[in-house]
Amino acid sequence: MPQRLLPYRTASFVGFVGIFLFAVVGLAHLPAFGSAETLVHGLAWIGVAAAAALMGRAWWNLAPEIFGARMPLVGFVLLVLFVAWVWVWFAIVLVKCEGSLRICGSWRLALDVGAFAMYATLAWVVWWRTGHWTIAALILIGNLCARLPLHLTDLPPWCRPLGIIILSAGLILGLVALFSSAEKRRVEELGSHTFFLAGWFRVVLVVAVVGTLLILSVPYLLSWLTP
């Protein structure tokens, strides 16, 4: 990476992490601040917006080096908003749900809608990069079947386990398809820093998939192991 772009890489990391940290402060109960708690929350959400803007500016300048070209402005803004929402989603799980989706209460519906938006974005990326609409459909259908039983009690009990299986298959096949597609593309045409060829991106995807599978399967493993 050229020396002139190194500050943008640092700014990208600072903004990326800052979104999550400011969101945690914005959602946390802070009785120590007394009547100033609302002000602190407001400043924290301003910090979320500032961190997202910092990250977006850095990504905009890094895009030609990583992707080979800049994406359309509207799509880029949506990408930044999506990443910001992912961090806010994790902050809600950590602060409001105490790390467990099972005790989210009134926040559960918002989190499930947000999670569906994340999986829908992943499904779109798989379809866009590989053309495999069937894998994208597996991700969407699996996510719906895994989450709808939490809100619609009339659904059969096998619906959620089936959804988890379908979602797991979609995520694994999606990873394979993305990696295979990246390998087939000519690096000399897309540049040496092709996004899906990057080792760090592959590690992030694998960790995300494994983490998702663990989170979804733990309640069932505990229920099976409990006498």
> pLDDT tens-digit profile of 122-178?
888 788 778 888 888 998 898 888 888 877 778 888 887 888 888 888 888 887 787
What's the confidence (pLDDT) of residue 196?
52
| 39 CB burial (10 A radius; 0-12, 13-18, 19+) | exposed
| Residue 76's pLDDT band (cuts 50, 70, 90) | confident
d(CA 8, CA 103): 39
- Phi, psi (deg, nearest 5) at residue 219: -55, -35
Q: Across the chain, what does the average pLDDT equal?
A: 76
d(CA 35, CA 46): 19
Helix segments in the chain, DSSP class H? 6-27, 37-66, 73-95, 108-130, 133-147, 159-184, 187-190, 199-225
What's the confidence (pLDDT) of residue 188?
45
For tokens 């988890």, what's the residue? Answer: 164
Average pLDDT over residues 98-103: 63
Encode pLDDT of 28-71 as tens digits.
Answer: 888 888 888 899 999 999 999 999 999 888 888 877 766 566 67
Which is nearest to 48 in space by CA: 10, 13, 18?
Answer: 18
- 3-state SS class at 48: helix
Range from 14-23, 118-127, 197-206 carrying the lowest mean pLDDT: 197-206
Cα–Cα distances in Å, from 122 out to 66, 115, 128, 150, 178?
Answer: 19, 11, 10, 22, 11
Q: Domain residues of the chain, as ranges? A: 1-95, 103-227
**Taking the CA of residue 66 as centre, how many other CA atoms within 13 Å lie in the half-sphere pointing to its CB?**
18
